[in-house]
Amino acid sequence: MPAPHLDQIRAHADPERAAQMAAYHKIDRPYLGVSNPVLNDLTKSWRQELSVPERVELADALWQTNIHEARLAASKLLTQARIRPDEAVWALLLSWLPDFDAWAVADHACMAMQKRLIARPERLDQIEEWTRSDHMWTRRAALVATLPWTKQNHPKPEDLERRDRILGWAATYVSDRDWFIQKAVAWWLRDLSKHDPGRTRAFLDRHGQDMKPFARKEAGKYLKDQLE
């Protein structure tokens, strides 16, 4: 199924840009040199043309090519707030977790996961299992996929409970010295600080000394302005 859609992506290929992308991402996979705005336009049109089952089938096929832009397009194809039914979409996204090996591909897939978690918050029970994975990218995804819970200015009581639950996961990550894990903790806290500085300060007061210095600095980036 992906051939015509992959051809549409290939039509915008830029070999020079592809070489730069390969050098930047440092992951051994094919790169076409296609920009995100082009992929956004293509996948927007595909979402309008295809049914949910067709989108799932196409996203699966694009992902299996292992082409960088095809994997981004697969994720973008499934990044939408309202998808009904969405069980097949969620199952496909979960099936991609073991393939996560680079931040750009993982982050795009996590953006699709964010929409499905907001639609069905009870799926956080599944996400909690990721925090104990041996696969670093899966552990990291537990925080990246739950970023929407950092952004509410007036969260409901149940969302505050979820926020605290996820902060509990982040606390277990503090002793993990992997750069990407530390960065994910910092990212979560930095975004949270814009909407809930109190919880961010409390976390840093308790765990900040055990975080890597760059992560602690990143997490408190906006707290300094608020304190001033």
pLDDT tens sequence across 65-89 = 999 999 999 999 999 999 999 999 9
| Mean pLDDT on 160-173 | 98
Q: How far apart are CA 155 and CA 137, in angstroms?
A: 28
| Mean pLDDT on 35-54 | 97
Give the chain's domains with CATH numbers.
1-119 (1.25.10.90), 140-228 (1.25.10.90)
Which of 53-67, 112-126, 213-227 has the least mean pLDDT?
A: 213-227
Residue type, 111: M
Position 224 scores a pLDDT of 72
pLDDT tens-digit series, residues 107-154: 999 999 999 999 999 999 999 999 999 999 999 999 999 999 999 999
Position 227 scores a pLDDT of 42
The residue that leads in pLDDT, 228 or 97, is 97
**Which of 40, 33, 27 shows the shortest CA–CA distance to 12?**
33
- The yes-or-no verdict on residue 101 having pLDDT over 70 is yes
User: What Å distances lie between residue 163 and 149, 155, 169, CA to CA?
Assistant: 6, 9, 10
User: What Å distances lie between residue 79 and 35, 43, 120, 147, CA to CA?
Assistant: 17, 10, 14, 15
Position 3 scores a pLDDT of 75
> b/e string for 90-124 if b means 16 or more Cβ within 10 A?
bebbeebbebbebbbbbbbbbbbbbbbbebeeebb
What pTM, to 2 d.p., does this model score? 0.94
Residue pair 2/42 in contact by the 8 Å Cβ criterion: no
Q: What percent of the chain has pLDDT over 90?
A: 96
Task: Annotate the chain with three-state secondary structure.
Answer: CCHHHHHHHHCCCCHHHHHHHHHHHCCCCCCCCCCHHHHHHHHHHHHHHCCHHHHHHHHHHHHHCCCHHHHHHHHHHCCCCCCCCCHHHHHHHHHHHHHCCCHHHHHHHHHHHHHHHHHCHHHHHHHHHHCCCCCHHHHHHHHHCCHHHHCCCCCCHHHHHHHHHHHHHHHHHCCCCCHHHHHHHHHHHHHHHCCCHHHHHHHHHHHHHHCCHHHHHHHCCCHHHHHC
Cα angle 25-30-34, degrees, rounded to a multiple of 5: 75
- Residue 228 banded pLDDT, cuts 50, 70, 90: very low
